[in-house]
Amino acid sequence: YNAGAGGKISMWPGTLGLAATFDPSVMRKFGEIASEEYRALGIATALSPQIDLATEPRWSRFEGTMGEDPFLAADMSRAYVDGFQTSSGRDEISGGWGYQSVNAMVKHWPGGGPEEGGRDGHFGYGSYAVYPGNNLRDHLIPFTEGAFKLEGPTAMASAVMPYYTISYNLDTIYGENVGNAYSKYLINKLLREMYKYDGVICTDWGVTGNVTSIDKFEGKPWGAEKLTETERHYRIIMAGLDQFGGNNAKGPVIEAYNMGVKENGEEFMRKRFEESAVRLLRNIFRPGLFENPYLDTQKSKSIVGSPEFMKAGFEAQLKSVIMLKNTANTLPLKKHLKVFIPQKYIPAGRNWFGQTTPEKWTDPLNLKIVSDYFEIVSEPSGADFALVSINSPAGGTGYSSEDLKANGNGYVPIPLQYSAYKADHARATSIAGGSPYETFTNRSYRGKTVTANNFHDMLLVNETRAKMGSKPVIVIINVSNPMVFSEIEKNASAILIHFGVQDQALLDIVTGMNEPAGLLPFQMPADMKTVEEQHEDVPRDMKCHTDSEGNKYDFGFGLNWKGVISDSRTARYRN
């Protein structure tokens, strides 16, 4: 179940893939196995799950979510946390906690999904989450109805992480627009008081650090840039947080304590620090780390990546693959047919952290594994069918230093299509804006043009169709975000999408060894106009692509060999 992957730990689809099963029991099984492997590796706290509601389709962290539907995300969140935190039988110490428990740190409160224009909060240009649909309610559901209402005895997720973003104009008491970790309203009033949360709250990494530019990967003190590091620590402590993610320096914490003593007295500050100490110690005591902090390395080797766990992960991969199109029952295909697999072009570029990557041509699939299923040929003329493996459009980060140097404001669109996109339908004035590192507040990118970095993937599909004539072209897409299908769909005989699975799983489905069963956990937009006009905070509000077979790529859509899937899962979540 690990052919060609080289891993030594159980392998599962990405979080979106687990959500695409529409089956919380699969997520629960993942949590149970992952927690056992975590504990065998000495890990007792997971910085997961990411339960942000994926209502903004351009967001770069979309793929780490459980989709855009609040009720599916709530059920999946609950299953994940129950699986990670629950110990039973001889492993249980008390209240469902024990030697197989892993603290689940759910993130990101109060939902990091509605980033304006899809720009991400790791950078100053993505510091604002916006709510044009006035819809905070849906974003809280995965927390309040999922991770905070478990079926198991541990009752609720033991830790929460707020996101970097400024949740714009949500604070109705203090009127502050500051990063979520600094917000007395979002943490003390909403999370602590309204929802009675008494677990650990840990900042995201680097929120107290300094930053020098809107587009540098440095500290992320959004809304508190002008404060000192000590003042930032103090603000966060007084907002109700317990732990500073990624910060091992005691100096600013002690200085913040002394600042609080001067303002509130030592008795008050001691009590405040002891509140956090109790929460943090509880998350160490409950997994049994004081009773037995040691590992049996031989036992660990037998647990991590065991055949049983590999098998479970592989079965989940199979369940996560979605078939969107299957013209004239093109799939499944018989084994040993002749297949043409065009090489994929990877252009030179720069990744999220600014590191450069060279251009290259590469085989998109493991040819050794493919050869176990089909005969590979080098020319389309000798093939029975073509297998084209691509990625969804890579539209960038939404910010361009080149645009800034050319007297623009630096803000550009994030296209979900491959070809050049001009943002004629974008907002003329952004909802939010403002930074000490900018002299303006309007972050609009209206009228600007961007082409996806991997537009060659579109050319690969369309050129392969031209070469293959009437012979089948099977398109497999590794999807990170929703995408505009109109550029390639008509040239595909069949379309399979996935969220990070092994080639073996894909080929098992192509050849009919397994039937596709996955369902879309989000919508596929008809065009970029509907993307620009949707509300960043509202789920399922786009016009969806309709393909040549008449099928609409809406939330909950998927095909099996018989046609459109309609079962208990679609009855529960799609309507």
The residues annotated with a catalytic role in the active site are 204
| Phi, psi dihedral angles at 546 (to 5 degrees) | -115, 125
The owner of tokens 């990494």 is: 205
Query: Residue 484, SS3?
Result: coil
Measured CA to CA in angstroms, residue 182 lies from 179, 220, 356 at distances of 5, 11, 34
The owner of tokens 């129950």 is: 82
Both tokens assigned to 383: 């093939």
* Cα gap 299→38, rounded to integer Å: 13
Beta bridge partners, 375, equal 338
* Cα gap 295→283, rounded to integer Å: 18
Give me the DSSP letters along 523-559.
Answer: --BSSHHHHHHS-TT-SS-SPBPB-TTS-B--TT--E
Sequence letter at residue 150: L
* Cα gap 357→347, rounded to integer Å: 8
* Cα gap 264→564, rounded to integer Å: 63
* Cα gap 32→148, rounded to integer Å: 18
Helices (H), 296-366: 297-303, 307-320
Q: 367: which DSSP letter?
A: H
Exposure string of 289-304, with b = 16+ CB inside 10 Å and e = fewer, is eeeeeeeeeeeeeebb
Beta 338-340 vs 385-391: how paired, if at all? parallel
Query: Residue 563, SS3?
Result: strand
Q: 152: which DSSP letter?
A: S
CB 201 within 8 A of CB 244: no
Q: 294: which DSSP letter?
A: -
Give burial (CB, 10 Å; 0-12/13-18/19+) of 125. Answer: buried
Q: What sign results for the dihedral spanned by CA atoms 291, 296, 301, 307?
A: negative
